[in-house]
Chain A
Amino acid sequence: MSKENVLRVSDITMQFGGVVAVDDLSLEVNKGEIIGLIGPNGAGKTTAFNVITGVYAPTNGAVALNGEVIVENHPQGKMKNLYKGKNDGKYKDVKVLTPDKITKLGVARTFQNIRLYKGMTVFENVLVAMHMNLESGIFGATFRSGKAKREEAQMREDAMNLLRMFDLEKNKDDLATSLPYGKQRHLEIARALATKPKLLLLDEPAAGMNPQESAELMRLVERIRDEFDLSVLMIEHHMQVVMGICERIYVLDYGALIAQGNPEEIQNNPRVIEAYLGVDD
Chain B
Amino acid sequence: MTEERLTARCLSKKTKYILSAAAIIAVLALVWVLEQNIPPTSSWSMLFTVIKKGAIYSLVVVSMNLLNGFTGLFSLGQAGFMLIGAYAYAIFAIPVEAKDSVYQYYEPLIGFSVPEMLTNAMGGAGTVGGTLGEYLGVIILMLFAGLVTAGIAFLIGLPVLRLKSDYLAIASLGFAEIIRTIFQWDGLGSVTNGSNLLRKFPTFSSSLFPLIVSGLCIAIIVLLINSSYGRAFKAIRDDEIAAEAMGVNLFKHKQLSFVISSFFTGIGGAMLAMFQATVNATPFTSNMTYELLLIVVIGGIGSVTGSVIGSFLFIACSEWWLRFLDEGQFLGMDADFMRPGFRKVVFALIIICIVLFYSRGIMGTREFSWDGVFNFFRTLPTRLVAFFKALPGRLVAFFKALPGRIVKFFKTLPSRISGKVKKLTGKTKNSKNNHINNTDKREEAQ
Contact flag (A, B; Cβ within 8 A): yes
Chain A interface residues (CB < 8 Å from chain B): 53, 55, 98-101, 103-104, 108-109, 111, 115-120, 124, 127-134, 138, 141-144, 148, 151-152, 155, 191-192, 194-195
State whether B242 touches A116 (Cβ < 8 A).
yes
Q: Is B405 close to A, CB under 8 A?
A: no
Q: Interface segment, B230-238, B274-282, B327-335, B423-431? A: B230-238
A-B CB contact pairs (8 Å), 5 listed? A100-B246, A101-B249, A103-B244, A120-B231, A142-B224
A90 to B: closest C-beta gap in Å: 29
Interface size class of B (residues with CB under 8 A): 20 to 34
Interface flags, B235-253, vs A, CB<8A=1, else 0: 1011101111111111000
* B28 contacts the other chain (CB 8 A): no
Decide yes or no whether B46 CB sits under 8 A from chain A.
Answer: no
Decide if B231 touches A119 in the complex (CB within 8 Å): no
Contacts of B228 in A (CB 8 A): 127, 130-131, 134, 141, 148, 151-152, 155
Residue of B nearest to A126 (CB): B246
Q: Which 10 A-B pairs have the closest CB atoms?
A: A132-B247, A117-B238, A103-B247, A115-B242, A141-B227, A129-B246, A99-B244, A128-B235, A142-B224, A131-B232
Q: Are B245 and A117 in contact (CB under 8 A)?
A: no
Complex interface: chain A residues within 8 A of B135 (CB): none
Interface core residue of B220, B231, B245 (most chain A CB under 10 Å): B245
Instruction: Compute how far the CA of A148 lies from the CA of B237 in the bound complex, rounded to whole angstroms.
Output: 24
Contact B246 A128 (CB under 8 A): yes
B residues in contact (CB < 8 Å) with A: 220, 223-224, 227-229, 231-232, 234-235, 237-239, 241-250, 256, 260, 302, 365
Given contacts A115-B239, A142-B223, contact A120 B246 (CB under 8 A): no
A195/B246 in contact, CB under 8 A: yes
Chain B contacts for A120, CB-based, 8 A: 231, 234-235, 238
Check A138/B229 contact, CB under 8 A, given A53-B245, A116-B242, A195-B246: yes
The complex places the Cα of A155 from the Cα of B228 at a distance, in Å, of 10
User: Contact at B229–A142, with CB atoms within 8 Å?
Assistant: yes
The chain A residue with its CB closest to the CB of B220 is A142
The residue on B at minimum CB distance from A201 is B245
When the two chains form their complex, are residues B235 and A132 in contact, meaning their CB atoms are under 8 A apart? no
A104 touches B235 (CB 8 A): no
Closest A residue to B221 using CB positions: A142
Partner of A117, one of B235, B249, B250, B256: B235
Look across to chain A and name the residue whose beta carbon is closest to the beta carbon of B227.
Answer: A141
With A and B bound together, what is the CA distance between A130 and B247 in angstroms?
A: 8
Hey, which chain B residues are within 8 Å of A101, CB to CB? 249
Of residues A116, A129, A191, which shows the largest number of chain B Cβ atoms within 10 Å of its Cβ? A129
A-chain residues with CB within 8 Å of residue B224 when the two chains form the complex: 138, 141-142
- Using A111-B241, A130-B228 as known contacts, list a sample of 10 further A-B pairs with CB atoms less than 8 Å apart, ordered by residue number in A: A99-B245, A103-B244, A103-B247, A115-B245, A119-B234, A119-B238, A128-B232, A131-B228, A141-B227, A141-B229
Nearest A residue to B232 via CB reads A131
User: Which residue of chain B is the closest to A134 with respect to CB atoms?
Assistant: B228
- A204–B115 alpha-carbon span in the complex (Å): 64
